[in-house]
Chains A and B, each alone.
Chain A
């Protein structure tokens, strides 16, 4: 309760850093260090989730055959290397869990919110640096518990990342007991971490902006991260409550979701998706924000329609709270309720498309530089549109009746999460790596990584639309058990091979990332010629960030200003008339 706010003048501490090693790199309260810690954590879980996906794809492409290297797995999971159906359920569950909670969310919010917000608004650090440190370190027990499930009797959680009750309630159905409990605990702890972070982000953006950094001069990345934090604050506690009740059903003998005890399985679905839908906007809004910054920079043009972009972020966030039922069209819920959800879901396409058109408007007649972050941002734009278009199909309840829980949905998810969030995350990593580490990543390797990823990603996920329309259901262990799916099996094999190549395509990125950490070309202060405040600081910025609190004179997207010598105009450069008056 005594965490004091950092006064604006605390920036005077910048450069004077006598912290011991452990306070500087391990238990650090510096938002930049915490952001980088989140980066390593999320990249680890991205890899873990990706490896799980490879095993899933092996089973789907070549059902019943031993997975290469599968002999190291115990018999309970894969006797003779052949994946058991029960282990397959665990795989799909933990793939989703790792990717959503431990990879993409920490990558977009944990990394970029932590790293960028204080820098971009001209603050010395977050509002509550010690809480921020806790936010990262809580991820360690959360991640450990999530991983631990693989090693307990009965295996890890196997009810899907959506943990529908009564499947998730009781070992009766999945044979999993301790694993599901560990999963619940892991997510609750993760929720606490997320909340601590969100309190920080919201408070910092509201209260710690430098003089002149008005709301309408904030970079869109900051707006997006700010509104995402509000979404998390309001949605994650619902998940926590729902999971606590699930946990009590599992260990205390309560009956919240168990029909035999008078409970309601649909209650779980409503609670989960009331969180779950804002959650997907938590996963995409930061990506949209990052991409706005990168596209403006790569086009050397201001973002088209900045106020509308802000309003669209707000509109998406608000509408995101009243569409959750579209995940439940086939659950047997009240049809009239379903209709209202259909209407609101279709409505949410409006602010989303506004953003897409505005990005296109930003690039239109711009002086486009196809640097690696820009390539990834354009990749985001195009792939997210495809994911959004499949969303229109799903929004129409009668259509969704057919494609729900089919591979059409899996295609949609991955187009928006990989094609959307992950490409944006790559753009962000390539873009801010120089600032974080003082070194540049290799451009050529970056282009190779983008090209290979883009190709194999589309080859992996686009055919899933076809599978879904053909009736291929989701989370299924062996598609060949159904004769009507037999004609689709070659597509499954094709997808699996593409997926293996997709994972392999990440090697240039991994190699580039780690080599550049130590051997990368030294980065200048502002390699991308960007206007935002972090690009006025050394790479990496010192503890405390700004030697003197900056003053902001303009918005963040003043590129190619007529009459200016350079094609960018930093936010903190005084107006020429005022400068000439000195």
Chain B
């Protein structure tokens, strides 16, 4: 035990065999999973435990446009991974094209979400509950379909979950813009794809969270 022989050709310890930037991003994403777990888990718990009649999500939220928005985000994930593939093959033109599409896709998603928020708020859905005298109140609360407290809780959870997701997408769009500018300046030439892959992971993660959110909040 005392004199352990050295490795015959000492090399740095491999760790997981994944380069540091990527490993760091994965570790960070693991913590982000826990963050969204707190929010989404709370929604599940509040809804399951609600003693009162919970609103049917698609009677308040617009499924068609959100489904389209989901698709847009998925497309931006595809363009992201295509950008990564281009970077690994040193295809600079492809890289720039796909990165640009990703930024546009992400920005569109945020735009549509903002538009939806505006629409919902004017309809009467607020973080604090259903606004009295609003169209939603007339349709759901006053008719007795849904209790005001349950609808209020739905509003609280909806805006918190989708709001933080939207915040994450926005941060992603901002970072992606910087990455795109760097790509246009040739910063990823010569097969230097690490930065693209790393931000790509973040981007896919944000898409993944939305896949879960869309199902749990809008559809179920």
Contact = CB atoms under 8 A, between A and B. Distances in A.
Indicate whether A and B interact. Answer: yes
Interface of A: 1-5, 8, 127-128, 195, 198-200, 202-203, 206-214, 217, 233-238, 240-242, 244-245, 248, 252-256, 260-264, 267, 271, 549, 551, 553-555, 558, 561-564, 569, 574-578
A254 B160 contact: yes
Contacts of B52: 262
B31 A254 contact: no
A207 B31 contact: no
A569 B30 CA distance: 39
Interface of B: 1-7, 10-13, 15-16, 18-21, 23-24, 27-28, 30-32, 34-39, 42, 45-46, 49-50, 52, 126-129, 147, 149-150, 152-153, 155-157, 159-160, 164, 175, 178-179, 182, 195, 198-199
13 contacts: A1-B179, A2-B195, A206-B16, A213-B13, A233-B34, A238-B34, A241-B35, A254-B128, A264-B45, A271-B38, A551-B6, A563-B2, A578-B6
A254 B49 contact: no
Contact of B127 (A1, A210, A252, A574): A252
Closest 10 CB pairs of A and B: A241-B38, A253-B128, A5-B20, A254-B156, A211-B10, A262-B149, A237-B35, A209-B13, A237-B34, A207-B15
A233 B30 contact: yes
B31 A199 contact: yes
A207 B34 CA distance: 23
A237 B129 CA distance: 26
A289 B23 CA distance: 25
Contacts of A3: 21, 24
A569 B31 CA distance: 39
Contact of B20 (A2, A207, A264, A549): A207
B16 A241 contact: no
Nearest to B182: A2
Contact of B156 (A255, A564, A574): A255
A459 to B, nearest CB: 41
Contact of A261 (B3, B11, B38, B152): B152
Contacts of B2: 554, 558, 561-564, 569
B129 A199 contact: no
Nearest to A256: B156
Contact of B13 (A2, A128, A210, A253): A210
Q: Which of A210, A240, A261, A562 has the most CB of B within 10 A?
A: A261
Nearest to B46: A264
A574 B7 CA distance: 11
A5 B21 contact: yes
Contact of B46 (A233, A256, A569): A256
Contacts of A252: 127-128, 156
Contacts of B39: 241, 244-245
Contacts of A561: 2
A371 to B, nearest CB: 24
Nearest to A578: B6
Given A207-B16, A244-B160, A1 B153 contact: no
Contact of A203 (B20, B155, B182): B20
A253 B31 contact: no
Contact of B4 (A244, A245, A553): A553
Contacts of B27: 198-199, 202-203, 233
A262 B152 contact: yes
A575 B20 contact: no
B42 A241 contact: yes
Given A237-B38, A262-B147, 5 more contacts: A209-B15, A214-B13, A241-B39, A255-B128, A261-B129
Contact of B3 (A128, A198, A554): A554
B15 A212 contact: no
A1 B199 contact: yes
A252 B195 CA distance: 38
A238 B160 contact: no
Contacts of B152: 255, 261-262
Contacts of A245: 39, 42, 160
B12 A8 contact: yes
Given A241-B38, A271-B42, A578-B6, A4 B21 contact: yes
Contacts of A256: 42, 46, 153, 156-157, 160
Contact of B6 (A200, A212, A562): A212
B153 A575 contact: no
Nearest to A549: B12
A235 B46 CA distance: 21
Nearest to B51: A262
A1 B38 contact: no
A255 B155 CA distance: 9
A281 to B, nearest CB: 16
A202 B26 CA distance: 11
Nearest to A131: B24
Contact of B153 (A240, A263, A563, A569): A263
A576 B157 CA distance: 65
